[in-house]
């Protein structure tokens, strides 16, 4: 699998909703490249990300990976190809080792430590008396939200998906947590096809493509420098980069 993602003529309406959450969306994300989704609240960013991970099926159109409709992929195969990193982490009440082995049952301890390192959490785990055997969850060690997220990133590193769907944190984490998590994510995205619901300017600026959504439609598509330079453009307005159309 190379990991090219295509969204072709996709519309989607939630059950019972009176309007479409996505309308006629066309996007191509070449293998190994990045797409940032931006747009106002309710514009359809999370819905689009959910369709790529096949949490829902489109009402019209299709989502393909390397030309194969995701509906035609075995769910287990799809889960191995598409990794989702969201603000909600799903760690189970088990040891760190078992949480990680869920993603890669045959990984060695060396492999587990390498994953923890790239997720910027190895030092903390190494400092715990039980190390990899530390229990996660309500009756285990009380990991902070940021630490749990980095453990989840380590699990995704082990799963090694070709395609990553990333939901960046909107709310300000404290500075250290933010820096550590971002370093973990920056390492995770290397070499993968990445679709990010982006809030950080650095993610947006460095993306190969930015899709600006509004009311379920892609209203602008391009790179940061091109979009920011469009006077009166949707991206320019969002980025607060709008310059007066007429010089004073
Ligand atoms: N489960 C649902 N059932 C019905 N409507 C939904 C559901 N989830 C989202 N919607 C609607 O679909 C539209 C798109 O929502 P979506 O969550 O994709 O927006 P978003 O761009 O991710 O917004 P935000 O920036 O606030 O996260 C909105 O009008 C929203 O109210
Ligand atoms: Mg959302």
pLDDT for the residue 173 = 66
pLDDT for the residue 172 = 61
pLDDT for the residue 171 = 65
Boundaries of every domain in the chain: 5-238
Long-range contacts of the stretch 206-209 (C-beta < 8 A, 24+): 206/34, 207/34, 207/35, 207/36, 208/30, 208/33, 208/34, 208/35, 209/27, 209/29, 209/33, 209/34, 209/35, 209/36
Q: How far apart are the first and last CA of the chain?
A: 54
Is the CB of 212 inside a 6 Å radius of any atom of ligand 1? no
Is the CB of 44 inside a 6 Å radius of any atom of ligand 1? yes
Per-block mean pLDDT, blocks of 10 residues, the chain (248 long): 96 97 98 96 96 96 98 95 85 94 96 95 96 90 88 94 89 75 89 93 92 97 94 86 44
Nearest residue (CA) to ligand 1, atom 3: 14
Distance 21 CA to ligand 2 centre (A): 11
pTM (two decimals): 0.90
**Ligand 1 atom nearest to CA at 43:** 21
Nearest residue (CA) to ligand 1, atom 12: 21
CA distance 81 to 162: 5
The number of C-alpha atoms within 13 Å of 140 and in the hemisphere containing its C-beta is 20
- What residues are paired with 217 via a beta bridge? 214
Distances (CA, A) of 37 to 4, 76, 110: 17, 26, 36
Kindly state which CATH superfamily the domain 5-238 is placed in. P-loop containing nucleotide triphosphate hydrolases (3.40.50.300)
Is the CB of 45 inside a 6 Å radius of any atom of ligand 1? yes
- What residues are paired with 197 via a beta bridge? 37, 167
């Amino acid at each position: 699998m190379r990991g090219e993602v295509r969204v072709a003529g996709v519309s989607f309406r939630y059950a019972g909703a009176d309007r479409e959450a996505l309308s006629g969306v066309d996007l191509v994300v070449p293998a190994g490249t990045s797409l940032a989704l931006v747009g106002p609240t309710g514009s359809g960013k999370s819905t689009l990300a959910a369709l790529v991970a096949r949490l829902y099926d489109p009402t019209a159109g299709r989502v393909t990976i390397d030309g194969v409709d995701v509906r035609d992929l075995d769910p287990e195969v799809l889960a191995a190809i598409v990794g989702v990193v969201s603000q909600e982490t799903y760690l189970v009440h088990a040891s760190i080792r078992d949480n990680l082995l869920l993603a890669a049952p045959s990984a060695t301890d060396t492999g587990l430590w390498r994953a923890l390192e790239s997720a910027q959490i190895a030092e903390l785990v190494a400092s715990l008396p039980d190390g990899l055997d530390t229990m996660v969850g309500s009756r285990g060690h009380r990991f902070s939200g940021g630490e749990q997220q980095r453990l989840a990133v380590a699990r995704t590193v082990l799963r090694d998906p070709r395609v990553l769907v990333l939901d960046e944190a909107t709310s300000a984490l404290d500075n250290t947590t933010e820096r550590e998590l971002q370093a973990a994510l920056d390492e995770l995205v290397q070499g993968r096809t990445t679709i990010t619901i982006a809030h950080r300017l650095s993610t947006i600026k460095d993306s190969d493509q930015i899709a600006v959504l509004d009311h379920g439609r892609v209203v602008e598509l391009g790179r940061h420098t091109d979009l920011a330079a469009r006077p009166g453009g949707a991206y320019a307005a969002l980025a607060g980069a709008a310059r007066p159309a007429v010089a004073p």
